[in-house]
């Protein structure tokens, strides 16, 4: 007899009410902005079950997509035991405040895919997401930083780490541009790939001369720049898949 595992909601995954609360807060903040922001506020406010807005700025639609991704990738993680998580801050992905609207996310994704294709990682399964933070240094804004969370098939070896570093040279302003760890919980790792909670990442030096980083909420003006940018793209636009493809409602490994 074949035993089929039941795929449930990951532990500590956000509830629908939490996602709705965050979206409602964004609606209020956008409603205080100029006409494009107010238009987006109305779009998010009209999002309903069965008639989702599909906006990259919508917490409810993004949460649903993240949950679907978890369910689609579960068989792939189950079939391949060794995975590495890489947090990467690449050079050339730092955007000045006020210029986020000039960024073409499709071009960014194509650039990332090209780097992976030309690297020694080209034959590995890769599931990656693009995250965004507003970085500050000693209370001075540095800019919008696009960075990568990469789940890659294979053990967390020095060889794999060096391959990722070669494919993605570091952002000069980043204290730790590359961070690696083995994936012990695939559910947490995969649902983190394109989360919809964004922060100010404030770096400073404490009284002992030690470098520290603190995550703070984005201000209203920050969200009024970020959310319209995200709204230009479908939810999955910040997701990168290599070595796997969609086959109907599931993901399959490309052999």
Please say whether the beta carbons of 41 and 30 come within 8 A.
Answer: yes
Q: What tens digit of pLDDT does each residue of 90-149 get? A: 999 999 999 999 999 999 999 999 999 999 999 999 999 999 999 999 999 999 999 999
Higher pLDDT, 143 or 187: 143
CB atoms within 10 A of CB 55: 23
Q: How confident is the model at residue 98, as a pLDDT?
A: 96
Q: Is 8 part of any domain?
A: no
Q: Is 3 part of any domain?
A: no
Residues 208 and 14: their CA atoms lie apart, in Å, by 37
Q: Is 6 part of any domain?
A: no
Q: Is 120 part of any domain?
A: yes
CB atoms within 10 A of CB 165: 15
Q: How confident is the model at residue 1, as a pLDDT?
A: 38
Q: Is 191 part of any domain?
A: yes
Q: Is 116 part of any domain?
A: yes
Residues 178 and 152: their CA atoms lie apart, in Å, by 14
Q: Is 11 part of any domain?
A: no
Cα 189 versus chain centre, distance: 11
Q: What tens digit of pLDDT does each residue of 198-225 get? A: 999 999 988 888 888 999 999 999 999 9
Check pLDDT > 70 for residue 2.
no
Average of per-residue pLDDT across 12-41: 95
In this prediction the pTM is: 0.90
Nearest by Cα to 156 from 164, 167, 148: 164
Which pLDDT band, with edges at 50, 70 and 90, does 194 fall under?
confident
Residues 76 and 252: their CA atoms lie apart, in Å, by 8
Range of 207's domain?
Answer: 16-253
Residues 235 and 66: their CA atoms lie apart, in Å, by 9
Q: Is 4 part of any domain?
A: no
User: How many separate domains does the chain show?
Assistant: 1
């Amino acid at each position: 007899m074949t035993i089929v595992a039941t795929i449930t909601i990951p532990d500590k995954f956000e509830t629908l009410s939490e996602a709705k609360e965050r979206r409602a807060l964004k609606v209020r903040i956008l409603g205080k902005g100029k006409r494009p922001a107010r238009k987006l506020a109305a779009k998010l406010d009209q999002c309903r079950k069965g008639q989702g807005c599909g906006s990259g700025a919508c917490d409810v639609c993004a949460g649903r997509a993240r949950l679907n991704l978890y369910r689609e990738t579960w068989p792939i993680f189950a079939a391949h035991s060794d995975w590495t998580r890489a947090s990467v801050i690449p050079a050339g992905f730092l955007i000045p405040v006020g210029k986020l609207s000039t960024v073409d996310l499709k071009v960014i994704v194509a650039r990332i895919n090209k780097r992976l294709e030309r690297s020694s990682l080209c034959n590995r399964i890769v599931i990656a997401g693009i995250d965004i933070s507003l970085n500050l240094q000693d209370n001075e804004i540095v800019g919008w930083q696009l960075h990568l969370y990469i789940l890659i098939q294979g053990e967390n070896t020095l060889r794999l780490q060096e391959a990722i570093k070669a494919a993605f040279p570091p952002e000069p302003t980043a204290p730790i541009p590359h961070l690696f760890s083995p994936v012990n919980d695939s559910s947490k790792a995969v649902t983190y790939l394109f989360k919809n909670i964004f922060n100010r990442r404030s770096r400073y030096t404490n009284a002992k001369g030690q470098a520290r980083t603190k995550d703070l909420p984005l201000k209203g003006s920050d969200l009024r720049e970020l959310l319209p940018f995200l709204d230009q793209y479908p939810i999955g636009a910040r997701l990168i898949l290599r070595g796997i493809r969609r086959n109907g409602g599931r993901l399959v490994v490309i052999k």
